[in-house]
């Protein structure tokens, strides 16, 4: 049989339901699809191709999925380290974004972000930023697959000088990108429950529901945010979003560090998903998300790196390393977050 591409001699980590690992495996690809995965060595009669890749010394595994990125932030890498979130955001990130994040810079910074992800094994990402049109355009140029969410915030933002236009801008963006490419899926990214009003959240969710696209939001990231929402609305950030009607299976809650038993039950019942970003949570000293509890409650958890200003890179292998260790030391239990679980999250 003649194939378009054959990859052999590598260790295949299948990530199938049995988590099979084939030490010396052969993968045959035809018409853009994997036809066979089998133990090697490759039989020269059975396996023919003009394009044979020798993966000796390497691992062959499914492309990684980075569930939370702000790709243009490669431009802000290392700009404000060793600060708490609110100071980091208000004194450094927001002013610098206002000054430098135009559509041209966003495109160039996103190209760099896509290149860094592809070089570290990530083939799909879920991004949220302003000028997201330029982010999606850059992604299209690199061939990476992803969900790209136009940012919504109730302040002046890059590309949205009047916050009264934030919903209209997100709606126009979503409609424009709905059917452009099978690799690109639009989305709406509301910054957080403390930077978007209830009305903004409801209107943004309406756009995502009517287009059947993902709704992304930073949620319960810091103790400060928890206290702010609690004093303003009398409930936790997760319960506030539930009351607002934001939670369903098409909502991704990013971080979810400050969540209690009730919050976790609510997230699980609504089928919302969580993006776990341990390095960003460590850098900004936000806390440790109760991921083992999320998993026990059958919540889908994916790994994310967050933007390069709070990590400082989009490398999911490094994120997997941290995710595998931080919960062990936090719970003083080396059996939580085994390697297979962490790979499945990535």
Q: Rule CB under 5 A: which residues touch Zn ion?
A: 306
**Residue 109 CA: distances (Å) to CA of 5, 274, 280:** 32, 26, 19
Closest of 16, 56, 17 to residue 40, by C-alpha: 56
Question: Residue with the closest Cβ to Zn ion?
Answer: 306
* Smallest distance, Zn ion to C-beta of residue 22, A: 36
* Smallest distance, Zn ion to C-beta of residue 304, A: 8
* Smallest distance, Zn ion to C-beta of residue 128, A: 7
- Looking at the Cβ atoms of 132 and 306, the one nearer to Zn ion is 306
The DSSP output letter for 42 is P
- Looking at the Cβ atoms of 138 and 309, the one nearer to Zn ion is 309
Closest of 57, 50, 46, 52 to residue 1, by C-alpha: 46
Q: Show Cβ contacts of residue 2 under 8 Å, excluding neighbours closer than 6 positions.
A: 48, 49
- Looking at the Cβ atoms of 25 and 72, the one nearer to Zn ion is 72
Closest of 125, 134, 133 to residue 106, by C-alpha: 134
* Smallest distance, Zn ion to C-beta of residue 68, A: 6
- Residues 179 and 329: their CA atoms lie apart, in Å, by 45
And the tokens for 53? 């890749």
* Smallest distance, Zn ion to C-beta of residue 69, A: 8
- Looking at the Cβ atoms of 9 and 110, the one nearer to Zn ion is 110
Burial of 133 (0-12, 13-18, 19+ CB in 10 A): buried
- Looking at the Cβ atoms of 208 and 277, the one nearer to Zn ion is 277
**Residue 58 CA: distances (Å) to CA of 8, 61, 119:** 10, 10, 14
* Smallest distance, Zn ion to C-beta of residue 221, A: 8
- Residues 8 and 58: their CA atoms lie apart, in Å, by 10
* Smallest distance, Zn ion to C-beta of residue 328, A: 25
- Looking at the Cβ atoms of 97 and 306, the one nearer to Zn ion is 306
- Looking at the Cβ atoms of 200 and 305, the one nearer to Zn ion is 305
Q: Helix (H, G, I), strand (E, B), or coil: what is residue 278?
A: helix
- Residues 250 and 209: their CA atoms lie apart, in Å, by 8
- Residues 97 and 70: their CA atoms lie apart, in Å, by 12
List residues bridging with 290 in a β-sheet. Answer: none
* Smallest distance, Zn ion to C-beta of residue 35, A: 39
- Residues 157 and 94: their CA atoms lie apart, in Å, by 8
- Looking at the Cβ atoms of 225 and 306, the one nearer to Zn ion is 306
């Amino acid at each position: 049989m003649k194939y378009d591409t054959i990859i052999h001699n590598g260790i295949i980590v299948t990530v199938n339901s049995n988590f099979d690992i084939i030490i010396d495996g052969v993968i045959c690809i035809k018409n853009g699809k994997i036809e066979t995965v089998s133990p090697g060595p490759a039989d020269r009669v059975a396996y023919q191709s003009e394009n044979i890749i020798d993966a000796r010394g390497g691992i062959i595994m499914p492309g990684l999925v980075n569930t939370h990125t702000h790709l243009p932030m490669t431009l802000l890498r290392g700009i404000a380290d060793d600060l708490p979130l609110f100071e980091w955001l208000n004194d450094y990130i927001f002013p610098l974004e206002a000054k430098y994040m135009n559509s041209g810079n966003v495109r160039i910074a996103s190209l760099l972000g896509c290149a860094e992800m592809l070089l570290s094994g990530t083939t799909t990402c879920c991004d949220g930023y302003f000028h997201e049109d330029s982010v999606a355009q850059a992604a299209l140029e690199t061939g990476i697959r992803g969900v790209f969410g136009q940012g919504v915030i109730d302040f002046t933002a890059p590309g949205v000088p009047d916050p009264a236009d934030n919903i209209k801008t997100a709606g126009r963006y979503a409609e424009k990108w709905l059917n452009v490419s099978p690799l690109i899926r639009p989305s709406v990214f509301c910054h957080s429950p403390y930077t978007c009003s209830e009305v903004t959240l409801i209107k943004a969710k309406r756009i995502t529901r009517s287009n059947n696209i993902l709704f992304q939001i930073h949620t319960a990231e810091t103790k400060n945010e928890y206290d702010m929402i609690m004093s303003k609305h009398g409930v936790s950030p997760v319960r506030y979003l539930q009351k607002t009607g934001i939670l369903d299976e098409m909502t991704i809650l990013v971080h979810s560090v400050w969540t209690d038993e009730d919050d976790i039950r609510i997230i699980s019942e609504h089928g919302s998903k969580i993006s776990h970003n341990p390095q960003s949570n460590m850098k900004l000293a936000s806390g440790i998300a109760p991921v083992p509890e999320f998993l026990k409650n059958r919540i889908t958890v994916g790994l994310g790196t967050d933007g390069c200003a709070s990590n400082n890179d989009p490398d999911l292998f490094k994120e997997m390393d941290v995710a595998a260790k931080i919960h062990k030391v936090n719970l003083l239990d080396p059996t939580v977050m085994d390697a297979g679980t962490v790979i499945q999250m990535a």
